Amino acid sequence: MASLAALPLAVVGQVEKGFIQKRTGSACQGKPSHLFCFDWARENIDRYGTPTLQQLELVAISIVIGFVVAFALALLAHRRRWLRPPLLAGTGILYAIPSISFFLLLLPITGRSRETAIIALSAYTLQIIFRNVTVGLDNVPASATDSARGMGMTERQVLWRVEIPLATPEIIGGLRIATVSTIAIATLAVFAGAGGLGTQILGEANLTFPTTILIVIGIVMAMAFFFDAILLTIQYYATPWRRARAS
Amino acid sequence: MIGIAPLFASFGGAIEFILTPQTSNVTGGNTVGGLDQVIELMLAQLEVTVLALALSILIALPLGLYLGHKGVGEVAAVGLGNAGRAIPELGLIALMAAVIGVGLGNLTIALAVLGIPPILTNTFVGVREVDAATVQAARGMGMTELEIVRKVEAPMAVTSVFTGIRTATIGIVATATIAPLAGVATLGEFILGEDVYGTDGVLAGAILVAVLALVLEFSLAALQRRMTSKGLKLRPA
């Protein structure tokens, strides 16, 4: 163990040796005390367009895939209850594997690509959506499904016209958590070689330049709140009976 | 698609990197990898994860219990949980390193920023969901407010609290992977230092981080089962 100190700790070493250098050639050159350099931001805001769109695309595709798969699995587990524990455990494992690790484990198989990022990101959403859909379907009062059956609905009609609509708040709740988390985590897609806003942080000069880091954090969080608000609006219009009750 | 053979070679190389120290052109003639270094870095990642988790619990658990018991601050407690999910981990660590500085202490605080929201929100929600009649019964039996929190609300909120702690742990241990950016060597050293450790090192880092995260997740699940009061376990779920 004594020789460990002599081992090259590449990244840490770089940081300590002045890996952290002041960005040169910018409007804020020579003013390292600037936490946020508005001049630089104004001049360079263009460079965030493409990464933002890349990140949006990754998130949108991953959420759609994650939702379709998790929703199908939840319906399956709703019919066949014994499937629930293994599905919960399986999606739980996918959820627990750190995204960076997941991206890199896929690299030998799918290479540095958008697909690699999408597989890992959609796998990450499964647990959240699966759990919310099953909880939502469980919480539908038996009286509602009994009434539906009494009205002569088939099991399929009960599912699509009664159970799923009544579970909408939980389903959208899961979708909101999954979307917001995925928007934030997609910043790490840079490790999968899939671009995104992480590219604007993970560069030697960027790492020490608070302005660009703050811009990325700002864009990511604004994106997350924007999509959260959209999903909340969808929920509002998708569940008119809740409004009727409130008024 | 690639064949099975190169796939085996990739993962085989990574396993070899974990088990035996190696010197090669890729590594610039330095000796890297091997169990000693792997264990050292894994313990470092575990250390910073445990520190950040402890700090998160120390702050979020009492606060969540208090707010939940009083029934105040719902907007703040739940809103913080939502906002916490939207923080990009990479941005948080980079910002902290660039503005506040590098090192274990700063990193612990940054990681706790990720850990506090889920624990606070889940503790708050767990306590709020305890049946009001149960709390009234406890009060009627002459319990003080502190006893109600300790003996009634906290045990009944264990499942929810643990959901928060597990979410926090997953986020913290995952983010501890990029700790080398903040000057703390963890398993991320292999991942971020491809120049030195080669592709074998990167893949080895990914495997080790996944193993560490899963071990933590399974340990917490087991701990959760032990912490759940026997009386509550008997109840049909």
Q: What pLDDT is attached to residue A21?
A: 39
Domain assignment of residue B215, yes or no: yes
Q: Which CATH entry fits the domain spanning A45-246: 2.40.40.20, 3.40.50.2300, 3.40.50.150, 1.10.3720.10?
A: 1.10.3720.10
Set of chain B residues whose Cβ sits within 8 Å of the Cβ of A104: 191, 202-203, 205-206
Set of chain A residues whose Cβ sits within 8 Å of the Cβ of B196: 8, 10
CB contact under 8 A, B188 and A11: yes
What ipTM was predicted for this assembly? 0.86
Band (A2; pLDDT cuts 50, 70, 90) = very low
Domain assignment of residue B28, yes or no: no
Which residue among B2, B86, B202 places its CB closest to the CB of A225?
Answer: B86
Indicate if the pLDDT at residue A15 is higher than 60: no
Comparing A229-233, B22-26, B138-142, B162-166, which segment has the lowest mean pLDDT? Answer: B22-26
Band (B40; pLDDT cuts 50, 70, 90) = confident
Domain assignment of residue B235, yes or no: no
| CA–CA dist B118, A25 (Å, integer) | 41
What confidence tens digit (pLDDT) does each residue in B145-155 have? 889 988 899 88
CB contact under 8 A, A180 and B91: no
- Structure tokens given for B89: 């981990």
For chain A, which residues make up each domain, given as ranges? 45-246
Domain assignment of residue B3, yes or no: no
CB contact under 8 A, B196 and A101: no
Band (A27; pLDDT cuts 50, 70, 90) = low
Indicate if the pLDDT at residue A33 is higher than 60: no
Q: What is the dihedral of CA B207, B213, B218, B220, to 10 degrees?
A: 170
Angle in degrees, CA A236, A237, A241, rounded to 5 = 80
Which of A44, A47, A50, A54 is CA-nearest to residue A183? A54
Q: What pLDDT is attached to residue A204?
A: 66
Long-range contacts of B95-101 (CB under 8 A, 24+ apart): B95/A210, B95/A213, B95/A214, B95/A217, B96/B182, B97/A15, B97/A20, B97/A207, B97/A208, B97/B181, B97/B182, B97/B183, B98/A20, B98/A207, B98/A208, B98/A209, B98/A210, B98/A213, B99/A35, B99/A210
Among A213, A214, A226, most B C-beta atoms within 10 A, so best to mutate, is A213
Q: What pLDDT is attached to residue A245?
A: 64
Higher-confidence residue of A152 and A10: namely A152
Higher-confidence residue of A142 and A9: namely A142
Distance (Å) from the C-alpha of residue A143 to the closest C-alpha of chain B?
Answer: 20
Q: What pLDDT is attached to residue A31?
A: 54
What confidence tens digit (pLDDT) does each residue in A109-122 have? 888 889 999 999 99
Which of B56, B66, B225 is CA-nearest to residue B150? B66
CB contact under 8 A, A100 and B97: no
Which residue among A97, A107, A208 places its CB closest to the CB of B210?
Answer: A97
With pLDDT > 90 as the criterion, what percentage of chain A qualifies? 57
Indicate if the pLDDT at residue B212 is higher than 90: yes
Domain assignment of residue B21, yes or no: no
Distance (Å) from the C-alpha of residue A221 to the closest C-alpha of chain B?
Answer: 5
B200 touches chain A (CB under 8 A): no
Residue of chain B nearest A21, judged by CA positions: B98
Band (A16; pLDDT cuts 50, 70, 90) = very low
Set of chain A residues whose Cβ sits within 8 Å of the Cβ of B20: none
Distance (Å) from the C-alpha of residue B105 to the closest C-alpha of chain A?
Answer: 15
Indicate if the pLDDT at residue B135 is higher than 70: yes
Set of chain B residues whose Cβ sits within 8 Å of the Cβ of A16: 102, 183
Domain assignment of residue B89, yes or no: yes
Three-state helix/strand/coil letters over B22-43: EECCCCCCCEEECHHHHHHHHH
Set of chain A residues whose Cβ sits within 8 Å of the Cβ of B93: none
- Structure tokens given for B226: 């032990």
Alpha-helical regions (H) of B20-96: 35-70, 74-85, 89-95
Domain assignment of residue B124, yes or no: yes
| CA–CA dist A83, A76 (Å, integer) | 8
Name the residue range of residue B186's domain.
48-230
What confidence tens digit (pLDDT) does each residue in B158-196 have? 889 999 999 999 999 999 999 988 888 899 888 888 878
Q: What is the mean pLDDT of chain A?
A: 84
CATH number at residue B226: 1.10.3720.10
Cβ–Cβ under 8 Å, residues A191 and A103? yes
Q: What pLDDT is attached to residue A22?
A: 41
What residues 131-190 of chain B have any CB closer than 8 A to a CB of chain A? 170, 173-174, 177-178, 180-185, 188-189
Q: What pLDDT is attached to residue A23?
A: 45
What confidence tens digit (pLDDT) does each residue in B58-89 have? 999 999 999 998 888 888 888 888 888 999 99
Which of B43, B121, B178, B162 is CA-nearest to residue A98? B178
Domain assignment of residue B40, yes or no: no
What confidence tens digit (pLDDT) does each residue in A185-203 have? 999 999 888 888 988 888 7
CB contact under 8 A, A98 and B90: no
CB contact under 8 A, A108 and B197: no
Comparing A28-42, A83-97, A125-139, which segment has the lowest mean pLDDT? Answer: A28-42
Indicate if the pLDDT at residue A239 is higher than 90: no
Among B90, B99, B106, most A C-beta atoms within 10 A, so best to mutate, is B90
Distance (Å) from the C-alpha of residue A205 to the closest C-alpha of chain B?
Answer: 11
CB contact under 8 A, A105 and B207: yes
Number of structural domains chain B divides into: 1
CB contact under 8 A, B98 and A201: no
Set of chain B residues whose Cβ sits within 8 Å of the Cβ of A198: 88, 90
